[in-house]
Amino acid sequence: MRMNSRMRALLADDQLRAQAARNGLPPSFQSLLDAGIYVHEGIWGFRAMERRRTNITPAMFPDATGYECLLNKLHIEDYLDTFEEQPPVESQLAHGLRFIQLLQQQLPREEQFTLVLSCDDERCVMRFHKTRPGEKWLAEDLEAYPEEAIFEVSNQEPFLLEL
């Protein structure tokens, strides 16, 4: 697990971590997990979003990791059942952390995946991709993203919300 200093500052909030630990998932998030994960021609994704194909193809990307990160990009606010026009970033982050923890447990253990949660001042985005030799989604130095809070974890390492 790794994170930059912006994410570390957000996660220093005990209330946020407690909220993430006790969060139930909204039905829209839960349905993504319930539908499961698929793999097609070496590309992994959410089965519930499998039909969301566009005219974008793997050949348009330098590697499979970039393509998967596009296919598996979730704007957390879109999955929150809230009457607020723009849910607070802290609420999005708490739900995103809980979702990542549950997704991490669902991904096949015989494969290694990377799960990423990033937040700017208004919204949080979650992605996942299969971990492949020679392919990276993020820079080695997460401090290279000064405008975003970044959190990255593998499905094969322990991740407890009591960070």
Mean of the per-residue pLDDT values of the chain: 88
- Kindly state whether residue 105 falls inside one of the protein's structural domains: yes
Quote the pLDDT of residue 76.
Answer: 93
Q: What's this model's pTM, rounded to 2 decimal places?
A: 0.89
Quote the pLDDT of residue 69.
Answer: 94
- Kindly state whether residue 26 falls inside one of the protein's structural domains: yes
Number of domains in the chain: 1
- Kindly state whether residue 162 falls inside one of the protein's structural domains: no
Kindly report, residue by residue over 72-123, the tens digit of the pLDDT. Answer: 999 999 888 765 677 888 888 988 998 998 999 899 999 999 999 999 999 9
- Kindly state whether residue 56 falls inside one of the protein's structural domains: no
Q: Is the pLDDT of residue 41 over 50?
A: yes
- Kindly state whether residue 55 falls inside one of the protein's structural domains: no
- DSSP 3-state helix, strand, coil percentages of the chain (rounded to 5)? 40, 20, 40
The Cα–Cα gap between 131 and 152 comes to 12
- Kindly state whether residue 59 falls inside one of the protein's structural domains: no
- Kindly state whether residue 68 falls inside one of the protein's structural domains: no
- Could you list the residue range(s) of the whole structural domain that residue 113 is in? 2-49+75-154
